[in-house]
Amino acid sequence: MQTEGYRDHPVRSYVLTGGRAHPTRNTLRPETLLRAADDGGRDLPATAGRHERAVLELCQGTLALAELAAYLRLPVSLVTVLVSDLVDAGTLVIRSTAAHDLPGTDLLEEVLDGLRNL
């Protein structure tokens, strides 16, 4: 069996997520920032696979969900399910979401006015 063809096979995603297609958290977006919990993932269950361990290793520093998916070479939707499980287990924490980092409408209007004046 070729490993290249297996990488994109849809059954693999099904197996990695335990048959689930949706995360337990709806707040996870591609720009959500993640970081491993302070305990360094010591509470990770023995049943955790290599992808869960890789997520915690990569998230020793703050990393966006989309970046995490790129490093793992996995679809964002699949990584969202894995991350959701790790957040639920307390081994991964959400640092921020884009909803909290959006600029105010006054600033956006000023930028738009400035662009129009160019």
| Interval 39-68: pLDDT, tens | 655 566 666 778 888 888 888 888 899 999
Q: What are phi and psi of 67, to 5 degrees?
A: -65, -40
pTM score above 0.75? no
pLDDT above 50 (res 3): no
72 Cβ neighbours under 8 A, 6+ residues apart: 51, 54, 55, 58, 79
- Which ranges of the chain does DSSP label H, i.e. alpha helix? 3-7, 10-16, 50-58, 65-72, 76-89, 98-101, 105-116
Place of tokens 């849809």: 10
CB-CB contact of 57 with 105 (8 Å): no
